[in-house]
Each structure stands twice: as C-alpha cells, then as structure tokens.
C-alpha cells in the first residue's frame, strides 16, 4: 500500500470512529424518534384472563432461541463499537446481560474489520465469557468489497455466537458518507447464510419489514429475522441531525427533522404481526420497545425475542451497571406480570393466545388491507 493509500485508509477509519461516537451521543441525549411516528402498539389491546388459573410463582420467562436457553425473551440490541469510549459501554452492558442470562448484540463491526486494533471495543467476552453474543455487519458492504473473509473475521475476533446482517437503505441514503449500492444484496445475503459457521440474523434498523420480504429472508437461509420497525429510533433522522446543513447547502436532499418523508417504514407492531403470521423462523421485535407492555404484545403476536437498545444505553449513562441491571430486571418482571394476567405459565404459550390481542384504528386498517386478520 502506498503512503497515499495508507493515509486515505486511516482517514476512513477515523471518520468511521467519529461517526459512531456521534451516533451514541445523539441516541442518548436527543429526541431521535420521528415526531408523530409510532410503533402502533397502542392500537393493540389485550383481553385479560379474569381468572388466570395459575400461580404467579409458576410463571417462567425462560425461553429457547437459536438453540440456546435464556432466562428471558429479551436481548440488548446492538448499539455501538469502533471508538475508544465504546469499549466500556459494551463491556458493562455485557456483564449485566451475562448475569441475567440474556443475549446481547454489538454495533456495526465495519470499523473493526478495517482496523483490527478496534476489536477491543467489541470484544466483550473477556469480561463475559458465557454471554451469547451477536456480531453485526451491514449487508451493503458485501456489495462493495466485503466477502466471507471479512464476515468470518468479524465473528472470530469477538467470538460471536451469531451474526446480524443489517439492512439500512434509508439511513445510508441520508448519510453523506453513505453507501447505496444495494444491487445484488439478496445474492450476497444467501451466500453468507449458506457459508458462515454461525446463525445469520437478517436485521432491519428502523424501517420495518413486510411479511413478503421476511419470507425471502427465510428462503435465503436466515436463522432469524429482526424486524427493526418504525416508531423507535430513526437512523435517517439521526443522519439529518448529524448534518444540519442538509436542505440548505444541498438542494438535492431537502430534509429537516420534521420532514414527513422521515415517517417511513412499517411500524414495529405491524411488522411483528406480519412476520409472525407468515414466517416459521424466529422473529425478534425491535424498534421503540420502550415499555414491557409493548414487549408482551409482541410476544403474544409470536415474537420469540424482544430487542431493546436506547433505554439500556440511557440507563447505563445515568446509573452505570446497576442502572442497567435494575432497568432490565424491572422490564423482565413486568413481562412476567402480564404473562400471569393472561394466564401464561411459559413464553411458549403466548403465541397460542394471539386471540387476546385486539387491533383497532390504524393497526386494524393496516392488517385488514393486508388480509392478515
């Protein structure tokens, strides 16, 4: 590599690290959902069991996912990595997740793949060796140079138990540094699913997935799908927040944080309903899962796991490891309470109680139009 090429490579890595730090700061401190958007979980009511006919002490939140046993049907979704401060964030969260017996994901490992020195910001198994860890790479990267070698490196350097391959077309479109060469993505995804030694999770990051594409993900070989629905953190909005000049100096992208175009995608509740109605692979409900009531509704729909990210980061920054542990314990306990109130002893019983969910308003209109009621 020439000095010029090496300098460009170092500049690229530095830019990636800076971007990751900006993302975490915005997620933790700013209003990152799109104004007026919603997961639509509020448009699903639960029919309670007047007489649960079980003892509360009998209720178990334990579940099985991707061949492993976990103490609750929740995971901490991937958030960060690739810059110095991320190491402490990931390791503190990892220790709590291992203690509570739940999985954890890391943020995009692209910076680490391009600069192995950043591996320590993702490698949490040094402090949580028993943790089920989910790696993370963007699908678009496999259209512009990545292959099985890079994916394998991302898995092996952090000893990941699964690999999330995320698709974030809207975010990349809004990101001045974004990559938008998505042609050939389905072939690339199928190649990864067929040749990697760990389960591949197809993962959206804020725009949701329709059942039509969930079926394609299943046929491509994905072991699970993370719907990443609309209504929670909007990564497209975050990119606008990172670059407030968009819409001023760049007339081709006339966006601001209140632009109605940012209200894009399938709301998390709808995406979860669609995915669980048609697919047979496990479904992870993420995207604005800020309250355990939403989690319980997703589990009643048939989701196998619920992913939480932003509230966990905020709990860490406000209260350290203890804050994360208390937040997650409360979240799990409230899922257990709702399970009791619908008469479910186990998580596996919840999908059979889907009839207890009553969609109305916008949710009912959507599902009727899609012939899913």
Chain centroid to CA 133: how far? 13
Distance CA 267, CA 285 (A): 11
Query: Mapping DSSP to helix (H, G, I), strand (E, B) and coil, where does residue 148 land?
Result: helix
- Lowest mean pLDDT across 25-39, 152-166, 277-291, 322-336: 25-39
The whole-number pLDDT of residue 9 equals 47
Task: Give 355 or 171, the one with higher predicted confidence.
Answer: 355
Chain centroid to CA 242: how far? 21
Chain centroid to CA 201: how far? 10
- Lowest mean pLDDT across 13-17, 231-235, 290-294: 13-17
Nearest 10 degrees: Cα torsion 266, 290, 111, 137: -40
Distance CA 92, CA 341 (A): 33
Residue 195 has pLDDT above 60, yes or no: yes
Whether the CB-CB separation of 35 and 258 falls below 8 Å is answered with yes
Phi, psi (deg, nearest 5) at residue 231: 125, -15
Structural domains of the chain sorted by starting position, each given as residue range(s) with its CATH number in brackets: 3-369 (3.20.20.70)
Whether the CB-CB separation of 32 and 310 falls below 8 Å is answered with yes
Distance CA 164, CA 196 (A): 12
Distance CA 353, CA 342 (A): 8
Percent of the chain with pLDDT over 90: 77
Measured between its terminal Cα atoms, the distance across the chain in Å is 59
List pLDDT tens digits, range 199-252. Answer: 999 999 999 999 999 999 999 999 999 999 999 988 888 888 877 655 556 665
Distance CA 192, CA 162 (A): 12
Distance CA 130, CA 135 (A): 15
**What number is the average pLDDT over the span 60-80?**
97
Residue 321 has pLDDT above 60, yes or no: yes
Whether the CB-CB separation of 138 and 108 falls below 8 Å is answered with yes
The whole-number pLDDT of residue 257 equals 76
The whole-number pLDDT of residue 15 equals 61
The whole-number pLDDT of residue 103 equals 98
Mean pLDDT across the chain, nearest whole number?
Answer: 91
- Lowest mean pLDDT across 39-48, 142-151, 199-208, 230-239: 230-239
Residue 20 has pLDDT above 90, yes or no: no
Distance CA 364, CA 98 (A): 39
Q: Which residue has the tokens 């399938």?
A: 266
Place 189 in a pLDDT band, splitting at 50, 70 and 90.
very high
Distance CA 329, CA 323 (A): 10
Place 10 in a pLDDT band, splitting at 50, 70 and 90.
very low
Residue environment code for 96-112, b if the CB has 16+ CB neighbours within 10 A, otherwise e:
bbbebbbbbbbbbbbbb
C-alpha count within 13 angstroms, C-beta hemisphere, residue 154:
34
Task: Give 84 or 153, the one with higher predicted confidence.
Answer: 153
The whole-number pLDDT of residue 33 equals 82
């Amino acid at each position: 590599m020439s000095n010029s090429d090496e300098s460009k490579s170092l500049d690229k890595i530095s830019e990636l690290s800076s971007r990751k730090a900006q993302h975490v700061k915005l997620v933790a401190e700013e209003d990152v959902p799109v104004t007026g958007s919603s997961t639509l979980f509020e448009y699903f009511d639960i029919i309670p069991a007047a007489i649960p006919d079980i003892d509360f002490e009998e209720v178990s939140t334990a579940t099985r996912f991707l061949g492993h046993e976990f103490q609750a049907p929740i995971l901490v979704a991937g958030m960060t990595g690739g810059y110095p401060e991320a190491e402490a964030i990931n390791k503190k969260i990892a220790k709590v997740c291992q203690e509570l017996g739940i999985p954890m994901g890391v943020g995009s490992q692209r910076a680490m793949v391009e600069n192995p020195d950043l591996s320590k910001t993702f490698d949490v198994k040094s402090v949580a060796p028993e943790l089920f860890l989910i790696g993370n790479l963007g699908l678009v990267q496999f259209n512009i140079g990545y292959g099985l070698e890079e994916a394998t490196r991302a898995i092996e350097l952090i000893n990941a138990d699964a690999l999330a391959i995320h698709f974030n077309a809207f975010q990349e479109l809004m990101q001045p540094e974004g990559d938008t060469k998505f042609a050939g993505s389905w072939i690339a995804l199928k190649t990864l699913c067929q040749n990697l030694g760990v389960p591949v999770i197809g993962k959206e990051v804020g725009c949701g997935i329709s059942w039509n594409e969930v079926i394609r993900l299943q046929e491509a070989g994905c072991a699970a799908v993370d719907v990443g629905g609309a209504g929670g953190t909007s990564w497209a909005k975050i990119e606008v927040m990172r670059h407030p000049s968009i819409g001023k100096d760049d007339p081709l992208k006339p966006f601001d944080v209140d632009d109605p175009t940012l209200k894009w995608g399938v709301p998390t509740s709808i995406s979860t309903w669609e995915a669980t109605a048609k697919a047979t692979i496990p479904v992870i409900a993420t995207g604005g899962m800020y309250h355990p009531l939403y989690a319980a509704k997703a589990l009643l729909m048939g989701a196998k796991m619920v992913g939480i990210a932003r509230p966990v980061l905020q709990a860490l920054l406000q209260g350290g490891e203890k804050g994360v542990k208390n937040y997650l314990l409360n979240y799990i306990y409230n899922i257990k309470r709702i399970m009791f109130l619908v008469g479910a002893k186990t998580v596996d019983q919840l999908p059979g109680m889907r009839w207890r969910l009553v969609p109305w308003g916008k949710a009912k209109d959507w599902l009727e139009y899609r012939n899913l009621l």
